[in-house]
Structure 1
Amino acid sequence: MRLLLVEDDPMIGEAVLELLRGERYAVDWVRDGDMADTALRSTAYDLVLLDLGLPRRDGLDVLRALRARRDRTPVLIATARDAVAQRVQGLDAGADDYVLKPYALDELLARIRALLRRAAGRAEPVYEHQGVSIDTVTREVRVHGQPVVLSAREWAVLEALLARPGRVLSRAQLEDKLYAWKDGISSNAVEVYIHGLRKKLGNELIQNVRGVGYLVPPA
């Protein structure tokens, strides 16, 4: 999953960036409202973690512009603006959830996971399909009850495909979920991760759609 972190405080930004990358998310970090708007217009994200008090352009303006484009990307506002009226304003502008600074990092991660599940149309943290289960909280993967160890990017590919069985994702779409701006991408990276997943989980789970991409077939 690829996230956009919008935070102008360097200490908070570094800490949250390290936290999210440690949780196997691909993360882009921008520090002002104009950069956030540019990133959101050019890149598809699974979730935005948005501060409100930003240089150059307020976070609420960024949020309103996003929703005016009918972009439904989940937005979690993280800010020190703690007045009830300001929280209501943010939610009414189109935010999906709100967390106040200073926040507990575990709570932040839990809210991110909940929003990602909701965006995928799921309420439960464990996905099960054709004998394969993944736990989005513990990051455990099991095949017919037996634990399997995946690399961080194998996990990211599997999570993206299992989130919505039957939906085809192209190689470019999978790359978008795997890599942040500063990451290097080899030309056959997705194919390598798909091959590794098939060896560990079985050849039947992930199917090729010739000339289009990959999918996990619906049950």
Structure 2
Amino acid sequence: MQERTPILLLEDDMLLQQSLANFLRQQGFAVHCAANLAEARQLLRQHPPRLLISDVSLPDGESIDLLNDVEAELGTILISVHDADQDRIRGLSAGADDYVCKPVNFDELLLRVNGLLRRMPEPEPDGIHFLGFELDVETRVLSKAGEQVNLGEQEMNLLLRLLANQGQLVPRDRLEHCVYGNVCDDAWKRRRAMDVLISRLRRKLTIDGVTDNRIVAYRGQGYMLVRD
């Protein structure tokens, strides 16, 4: 499964936010958007990004305050209406990797994004982030906000198959064979067991106790794990 580079875009000007987000998505990036520091902190936990692009001045503070909370491996580009030397120095001294002045030239920003990504070390390949969860493929451990989510062997096999085809319909018979192999020849029992297994996995793929339709059922066809 090829993953797009995840970016968190923090901008309270909604017109600029949507325009820039659409532009970055067209360039192949996976973009999550926030309009204030509170939303950004939540998204940093739920969808850890590779890169943060943030306006300096926000309704509930300055994004410079956020830089103390982010991982050192996270690349950061600040954008601001303030173009004085002392403003640039302040942002870079706080830990930002780059500083761009408004109005933002999207093509120039893209060059800065790609340049920063080239300079950054490659992330470890053993972790997959999806829907607010992290899966360590090597150890087969699923976690949410740093807490382990206990999955049985069949639940893990089902999740791996759905993840390998995230955003695509996986036929029911392929899922049944992946999970049960040739252990059970009774078609009705296999279907019933798969229904129960899907239900259990759905309950475990929750955020803040809210169960939504992360695993979509296509009647008579199969299931799909939704994209972020």
Fold equivalence (TM over 0.5): yes
TM (normalized to structure 1)? 0.56
1:103-148 superposed Cα distances (whole Å, 9 cap, x missing partner): 211111111111111113xxxxxxxxxxxxxxxxxxxxxxxxxxxx
Partners of 2:35 and 2:67 in 1: how far apart?
A: 15
Q: For residue 173 of structure 1, give the secondary structure of its aligned residue in structure 2.
A: strand
TM (normalized to structure 2)? 0.54
Indicate the residue corresponding to 1:82 in structure 2: 83
Are the aligned partners of 2:47 and 2:131 in contact in 1 as well (CA < 8 Å)? no
Q: 1:97 to 1:11 in 2, by over 3 A?
A: same
Partners of 2:77 and 2:116 in 1: how far apart?
A: 8
Structure richer in strand, relative to its length: 2
Q: 1:175 to 1:191 in 2, by over 3 A?
A: farther
- Which runs of no fewer than 5 residues in structure 2 stay unpaired? 133-157, 167-228
Q: 1:190 to 1:113 in 2, by over 3 A?
A: farther
1:38-89 superposed Cα distances (whole Å, 9 cap, x missing partner): 32244321100011110112111112332xxx53300011111111101100
Query: Structure 2: which amino acid aligns with 1:173?
Result: H
1:162-185 superposed Cα distances (whole Å, 9 cap, x missing partner): x57xx5334x33777xxxxxxxxx
Partners of 2:64 and 2:81 in 1: how far apart?
A: 14
Are the aligned partners of 1:34 and 1:57 in contact in 2 as well (CA < 8 Å)? no
Indicate the residue corresponding to 1:2 in structure 2: 6
Indicate the residue corresponding to 1:130 in structure 2: none
Are the aligned partners of 1:175 and 1:190 in contact in 2 as well (CA < 8 Å)? no
Partners of 1:189 and 1:22 in 2: how far apart?
A: 25
Superposition RMSD in Å: 2.5
Indicate the residue corresponding to 2:37 in structure 1: 33
Query: Structure 1: which amino acid aligns with 2:39?
Result: M
Are the aligned partners of 1:2 and 1:26 in contact in 2 as well (CA < 8 Å)? yes
Partners of 2:65 and 2:7 in 1: how far apart?
A: 19
Q: 1:104 to 1:168 in 2, by over 3 A?
A: closer
Partners of 1:71 and 1:42 in 2: how far apart?
A: 18
> Rg: which structure is higher?
2
Identity %: 30
Q: 1:80 to 1:21 in 2, by over 3 A?
A: same
Aligned pairs (5 A) from 1:125-164: none
Indicate the residue corresponding to 1:23 in structure 2: 27
Return the structure number with greater relative CO, CA threshold 8 A, min gap 6.
1
Are the aligned partners of 1:48 and 1:75 in contact in 2 as well (CA < 8 Å)? yes
Partners of 1:189 and 1:29 in 2: how far apart?
A: 26
Query: Structure 2: which amino acid aligns with 1:47?
Result: L
Partners of 1:26 and 1:103 in 2: how far apart?
A: 20
> Number of aligned pairs?
137
Aligned pairs (5 A) from 1:133-212: 167-170=124-127, 172-173=128-129, 187=159, 188=161, 190-192=163-165
